[in-house]
């Protein structure tokens, strides 16, 4: 590092965002990259710690520390500060197959574990990462890397989300022949249809897919393994099969509502298909001039809020069962754990600009639904809860009498998470499951030669964790194939 006092003299900056009144009129990305000078200044805030926690990438019980793909953060921060963006890109690609994705959508656990974050705002690691890869593409430094030698091994990857793409990339670069099977009409999995375009431009995804194709990976779209071809048939044609089929089974709500209740991923997928291909929206996927309630307080719920605003909803409110996060870390959320503190997501900022208030309602639950005689949603009756910490450390919620409130609603978007792999997928593939996930030993399922990775194995998680899973399952597949060679040799 050239400067040793950057963390004291430079203030944290996370980059310029388009104004809410402008960005809600389209689906373009709401945030841009740093200029080179901005990136240099922000990188100078890195302390080049003797023991950097930002790239630890481990979980200890409920404590999550650092970057799951072990990004060499202090190294490329130093290179950026020196203006050597090309070498920084090389270091970045050593650990992360797709920094253009994580640099846009990752919640940056690395920043929560930044040593500077103990007493000052963390280094803007995520935005520096995005700037490195964007500059790399702009300058033509990111080029197709075609393996010079091909092995006789063939691998099938089922699912083209971040885990599937990372596994395919790793194995292809090792010289194996890889085919990716995707049931949708576009590759990318949740990168394409689960994350709205204003957070991740679909041209960014398409650019990477095209690069992977140029490098030799084959993609078969509109192809459902178990329907168009059985897993047994796939096994007979490939040396290994990797299931990266996600965990897209939504947690269900039992309600009397027959019309007006939609699961978040269905809504976001339909909205993106409409944006990309002009596909006609069903009434339940169109928030225009409607009162919208989003149930669920996470990132997917925030994406539903932002999407509804772009569709010109009449109103939008988001229900969360937990209390508002504190402004600073609580005593049981100490550094270097991922901080649980109040933030204003892009969609909430947009709602505040449009309607004058944060759309989030905390410690609230729906007690009953108001419907017409034919089951059409009209609204909900809610009640507030009180969070109670018990002597044994557990937490319970109790109803607060006298807090009943009616909210009008034409549509409810349910974003309360996922219960795991779609159960029919587990049945079709005949692999063993556990708690909604595909059971594995060293990434291999109960069927020899069939592996699983990503959300399907780990459960609902982050894009960066999916990339790590894809990289690790690729190692497991290679180790098994090498053992097979040793046995036959």
Domains of the chain (ranges, CATH numbers): 6-138 (1.10.1060.10), 154-248+419-488 (3.50.50.60), 252-416 (3.50.50.60)
Residue 122: CB atoms within 10 A of its CB come to 23
CA angle 123, 460, 14 (to 5 degrees): 20
Distance CA(470)–CA(171), nearest Å, equals: 10
How far from 57 is each of 54, 65, 73, 110, 296, CA to CA, in Å? Answer: 8, 6, 12, 8, 27
Task: With a cut of 80, say whether residue 3 has pLDDT above it.
Answer: no
pLDDT digit string, tens, across residues 443-479: 999 999 999 999 999 999 999 999 999 999 999 999 9
For 148-182, write each residue's pLDDT tens digit.
999 999 999 999 999 999 999 999 999 999 999 99
CA angle, 158 as apex, 154 and 162 as ends, to 5°?
A: 105
When pLDDT is averaged across residues 435-442 and rounded to a whole number, the result is 93
pTM for this one? 0.95
Radius of gyration, alpha carbons of the chain: 23
Question: So what's the pLDDT on residue 317?
Answer: 98
Q: Please give the average per-residue pLDDT across 421-435, as a whole number.
A: 83
Looking at the chain, the whole-number percentage of residues with pLDDT higher than 70 is: 98
Nearest of 96, 47, 98 to residue 72 by alpha carbon: 96
Name the burial class of residue 254, with classes exposed (0-12), middle (13-18) and buried (19+) by CB atoms within 10 angstroms of its CB: exposed
């Amino acid at each position: 590092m050239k400067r040793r006092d950057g963390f004291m003299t430079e203030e944290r900056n996370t980059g310029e965002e388009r104004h809410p009144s402008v960005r809600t009129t389209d689906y373009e990305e709401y945030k841009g990259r740093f200029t080179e000078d901005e990136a240099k200044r922000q990188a100078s805030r890195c302390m080049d710690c003797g023991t950097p926690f930002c790239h630890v990438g481990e979980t200890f019980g409920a404590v999550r520390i650092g970057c799951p793909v072990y990004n060499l953060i202090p190294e490329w921060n130093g290179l950026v500060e020196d203006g050597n963006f090309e070498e920084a890109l090389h270091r970045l690609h050593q650990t992360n197959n797709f920094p253009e994705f994580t640099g846009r959508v990752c919640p940056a656990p690395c920043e929560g574990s930044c040593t500077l974050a103990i007493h000052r705002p963390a280094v803007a690691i995520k935005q520096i990462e995005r700037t490195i890869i964007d500059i790399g593409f702009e300058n033509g430094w990111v080029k197709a890397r075609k393996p010079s030698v091909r092995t006789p091994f063939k691998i099938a990857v089922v699912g083209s989300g971040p885990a599937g793409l990372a596994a395919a990339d790793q194995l292809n670069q090792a010289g194996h022949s890889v085919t990716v099977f995707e049931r949708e009409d576009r590759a990318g999995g949740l990168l394409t249809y689960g994350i709205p375009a204003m957070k991740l431009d679909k041209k960014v995804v398409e650019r990477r897919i095209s690069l992977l194709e140029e490098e030799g990976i084959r993609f078969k779209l509109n192809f459902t393994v178990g329907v168009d071809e059985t897993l047994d048939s796939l096994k007979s044609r490939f040396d290994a099969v990797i299931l990266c089929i996600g965990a897209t089974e939504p947690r269900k709500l039992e309600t009397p509502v027959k019309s007006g209740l939609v699961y978040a991923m269905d809504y976001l997928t339909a909205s993106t298909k409409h944006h990309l291909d002009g596909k006609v929206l069903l009434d339940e996927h169109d928030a225009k001039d409607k009162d919208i309630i989003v149930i669920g307080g996470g990132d997917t719920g925030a994406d539903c809020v932002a999407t509804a605003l772009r569709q010109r909803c009449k109103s939008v409110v988001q229900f969360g069962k937990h209390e508002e996060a504190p402004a600073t870390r609580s005593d049981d959320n100490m550094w270097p754990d991922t901080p649980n503190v109040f933030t204003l997501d892009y969609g909430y900022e947009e709602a505040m600009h449009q309607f004058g208030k944060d759309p989030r309602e905390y410690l609230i639950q729906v007690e009953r639904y108001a419907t017409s005689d034919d089951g059409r949603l009209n609204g909900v009756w809610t009640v507030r809860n009180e969070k109670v910490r018990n002597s044994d450390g557990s937490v319970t919620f109790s109803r607060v009498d006298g807090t009943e409130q009616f909210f009008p609603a034409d549509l409810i978007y349910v974003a309360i998470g996922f219960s795991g792999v779609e159960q029919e997928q587990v049945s079709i593939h005949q692999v063993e499951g556990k708690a909604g996930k595909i059971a594995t030993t060293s990434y291999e399922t109960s069927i020899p030669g069939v592996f699983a990775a990503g959300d399907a194995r780990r459960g609902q998680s982050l894009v960066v964790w999916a990339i790590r899973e894809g990289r690790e399952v690729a190692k497991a597949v290679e180790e098994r194939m090498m053992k097979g060679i040793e046995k036959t040799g």
